[in-house]
Amino acid sequence: DAMVIQNPRYQVTQFGKPVTLSCSQTLNHNVMYWYQQKSSQAPKLLFHYYDKDFNNEADTPDNFQSRRPNTSFCFLDIRSPGLGDAAMYLCATSRDLESYTFGSGTRLTVV
Amino acid sequence: DQQVKQNSPSLSVQEGRISILNCDYTNSMFDYFLWYKKYPAEGPTFLISISSIKDKNEDGRFTVFLNKSAKHLSLHIVPSQPGDSAVYFCAASATNTGNQFYFGTGTSLTVIP
């Protein structure tokens, strides 16, 4: 089945140690998004790629970076994770404004 | 600034009855709205959508109503089933903002058998 896959499901990283989360899709959607969701809060858009064009939200910290080497893959890099970065990270894709398809998320714990 | 608001963090409904989840928005430019359902430890799953040219969209047990003048939308689930127990997010977007969706904070629905 066509889908959005996030790896790993659970990630534990040390304070200040760089970590990379990955997302892949078989939908051939041209837009890919990264959201951060903390407990009891709405998912917060960090950035998105429209084809190869990177669009960063104004309030996304510089600590968060993203790479999209091809249509199918997108990575979220956290250069120096802090305790406040512990959250669920959701990847999503879309082709148009009809709907998003979300991955299952990666739960990040910072110790 | 929260542009999409879900003021009820939780809702409990008896099985077989109607569940009504509400969502308010502040940006009059929003012209597309969606509801997502989210189970614990999973990503949100698309449920139903509505564009601003309509005031109602129905899909099986799920109906979304849009009141543009009140900037309000609601999701009706009839009849409610225990498997509907989840967190429901509404989201909105405006054509002129590209692909950015704004999410509410979610309503946790519990359907009691």
Q: What pLDDT does residue A97 have?
A: 53
C-beta of residue B41 within 8 angstroms of C-beta of residue B56: no
DSSP B68: T
> What confidence score (pLDDT) does residue B65 get?
97
CA distance B86 to chain A (A): 13
With cut-offs at 50, 70 and 90, classify the pLDDT of residue B99: low
Which pLDDT value is given to residue B94? 83
Is residue A66 within 8 Å of residue A54, measured between CB atoms?
Answer: yes
Q: What is the DSSP string of chain A?
A: ---EEEE-SEEEE-TT--EEEEEEESS--SEEEEEEE-TTS--EEEEEEETTEEEE-TTS-TTEEEEEEETTEEEEEESS--GGG-EEEEEEEESSSS--EE---EEEEE-
pLDDT tens digits along A1-30: 668 999 888 999 999 999 999 999 998 998
pLDDT higher than 80, residue A59: yes
Would you state the pLDDT for residue A98?
A: 57
Which of the two residues, B97 and B57, has the higher pLDDT score?
B57
Q: In this complex, do A50 and B9 lie within 8 Å of one another by their Cβ atoms?
A: no
Residues A48-68, mean pLDDT to the nearest whole number: 90
User: What pLDDT shows up at residue B98?
Assistant: 57
Residue given tokens 């990666």 in the structure block: A106
**Half-sphere exposure of residue A40, counting CA atoms within 13 Å on the CB side?**
4
Question: Count of CB atoms within 10 A of residue A80's CB?
Answer: 13
How many Å apart are CA A67 and CA B63, to the nearest integer? 38
Number of C-beta neighbours around residue A69 at 10 A: 9
Q: Across the interface, which of B45, B46, B105 has its CB nearest the CB of A42?
A: B105
- Model confidence pLDDT, tens digit, residues B16-73: 999 999 999 999 999 989 999 988 767 788 899 899 999 999 999 999 999 999 999 9
- Residue A103: the pLDDT is 87
Residues of B in contact with A103 (CB under 8 A): 43
Q: What is the pLDDT of residue A96?
A: 63
